[in-house]
Amino acid sequence: MAHVLVVDDDPDILSLVQLQLGHAGHTTRGAPSGPQALATIEADGPPDVAILDIRMPGMSGYELLDELRARGYRELPVIFLSARAEPADINRSTARAYLTKPYVLSDLLREIEDATRS
């Protein structure tokens, strides 16, 4: 099973995703913002997979992904999980996968599995 970092500024979504992934056997860490996610990674090391919301105050998911890459985490698989479903948002993504909210848990679990096998 994977060690997953979940980053979302909505505490309900953050808790729900962590709970569901935990029930599926994954270990999770949560962060409510980009800067806190970076601090968590620096303190505890990188996860196997990161799940990022896009629309967050202070640092968007896009900016967080850019910062992760700039800090040398180029191989870290990232899955965007966002309410933004516009083609421009999806096409702008350089993440491994882009899932929209509300999400289908089986799709998220499949993406995590695929990311950890690559």
Q: How far apart are CA 42 and CA 46, in angstroms?
A: 8
Average pLDDT (29-36) is 98
Coil/strand/helix, residue 10? coil
For every residue of 60-75, DSSP letters joined together read -HHHHHHHHHHTT-TT
Q: How confident is the model at residue 48 (pLDDT cuts 50, 70, 90)?
A: very high
Residue 87 has pLDDT above 70, yes or no: no
The predicted pLDDT at position 109 comes to: 98
Higher pLDDT, 98 or 84: 98
Residues in the chain: 118
Q: State how far Cα 71 lies from the chain centre.
A: 17
Q: Which domains does the chain have, with CATH numbers?
A: 3-117 (3.40.50.2300)
The alpha helices in 24-80, defined as continuous H runs, are: 34-44, 61-70
Could you tell me the two tokens for 97? 């996968």
pTM of the predicted protein model: 0.93
Beta strands 78-82; 3-7: pairing state: unpaired
The predicted pLDDT at position 42 comes to: 96
With the C-alpha atoms ordered 1, 77, 46, 34, is the resulting torsion angle positive or negative? negative
Angle between helices 61-70 and 34-44 (to 10 degrees): 30
